[in-house]
Amino acid sequence: MMDELQVFVEFALRGLLIGALYSLMALGLSLIFGVMRVINVAHGEFLMIGGYVAYFAWAWTQLSPLATLLISVPALFALGVALERFLVERVVGKPELASLMLTFGISITLWNLAHALFSPDPRSVPYLYEPLELLGIYISKASLMIFAASLGLAALLVLFLKGTRWGKAIRAVAQNPEVAQACGIDTRRVRMLAFGLGAGLAGAAGTFVPIQFSLFPGVGHEFILKAFAVVVLGGLGSLGGAFTSGLLLGVVESLITFYANAHVAYLTFYATIVGVLLLRPAGLFGTGLVEED
């Protein structure tokens, strides 16, 4: 039997590492919502497609699984841009139901397509599964790598939003599309860019799925709930909130799994959504990078 404190630290740490993946997914979801006011129900499928792109890139080229990010992220970016251009753009500014139905339709379509193309067989990438030991705590190298890569990607996103013209345009459109237009910003292209970036982030998260978990066509369903809980907790449209609450829910999930059981941990995500919406609809973290308060 391990020392109680050590167990606590181990589970909290492990949850934190996994939480980075939730954060990454939630960042994309939040970015899309912030700029477009569209709740992207298909985000889980973006993650799943990203996973398959990365998986096949790895299987065919024997690239390092980490390097497949360079393929999966651009691929999902392109997919996101195309979907925005031809489908999602049509529901921007319409009542929420329109965008919910549309992205739900995209979700079902992508899921079925994946089912037909890739078969329901789950796939996984054996990579860095061996653990590192530190003071009796074992953490897999893969989860450390995923954590570091997620943090890196989130930092890149912040740099992009803060430091580039297009990044500022994204923030401007999220804060006030009307004024952004008056400032000469092409809001349509900004929406394409934002949707593409959101999809790219989901693709990045998806790249890690066959490494840390296992990849199958329905895997998106299982992540979207968590991502929604994270986004709701962090405050819709708030990137800082999304990132922080991703980590937080990761830790909570892991600890609850240990001290109660996995069922309760899973319910926590539902409970978070309901609880936050009832008690504090703006989420825990008011300050966002993208969104107007």
Binding site for another protein (CB under 8 A): 1-2, 7, 10-11, 14-15, 18, 121-124, 126, 129-131, 133, 138-140, 142-143, 165, 168-169, 171-172, 175-176, 178-187, 209, 212-214, 216, 219, 221-223, 225, 253-254, 257-258, 261-263, 265-266, 288-293
Q: Under a CB-based contact definition with an 8 Å cutoff, are residues 238 and 293 in contact?
A: no
Q: Which residues contact 89 (CB under 8 A, 6 or more apart)?
A: 188, 191, 192
* Spatial distance between the Cα atoms of 21 and 278, rounded to a whole number of angstroms: 26
CB of 74 to another protein, least distance (A): 25
Nearer to another protein, 102 or 128 (CB): 128
Q: What is the CB neighbour count within 10 angstroms for residue 287? A: 11
Nearer to another protein, 107 or 187 (CB): 187
Nearer to another protein, 67 or 183 (CB): 183
Structure tokens at 204: 């990045």
- Taking Cα atoms as reference points, which of 262, 259, 264, 154 lies closest to residue 201? 154
Q: Under a CB-based contact definition with an 8 Å cutoff, are residues 52 and 68 in contact?
A: no
* Spatial distance between the Cα atoms of 43 and 46, rounded to a whole number of angstroms: 5
DSSP reduced 3-state for 289: coil
Q: Which helix (H) or strand (E) holds 137?
A: strand 137-140
Nearer to another protein, 79 or 224 (CB): 224
CB of 2 to another protein, least distance (A): 5
CB of 181 to another protein, least distance (A): 4
Nearer to another protein, 109 or 261 (CB): 261
Nearer to another protein, 14 or 43 (CB): 14
* Spatial distance between the Cα atoms of 202 and 73, rounded to a whole number of angstroms: 8
CB of 38 to another protein, least distance (A): 20
* Spatial distance between the Cα atoms of 154 and 174, rounded to a whole number of angstroms: 18
Q: Under a CB-based contact definition with an 8 Å cutoff, are residues 146 and 21 in contact?
A: yes
Nearer to another protein, 94 or 141 (CB): 141
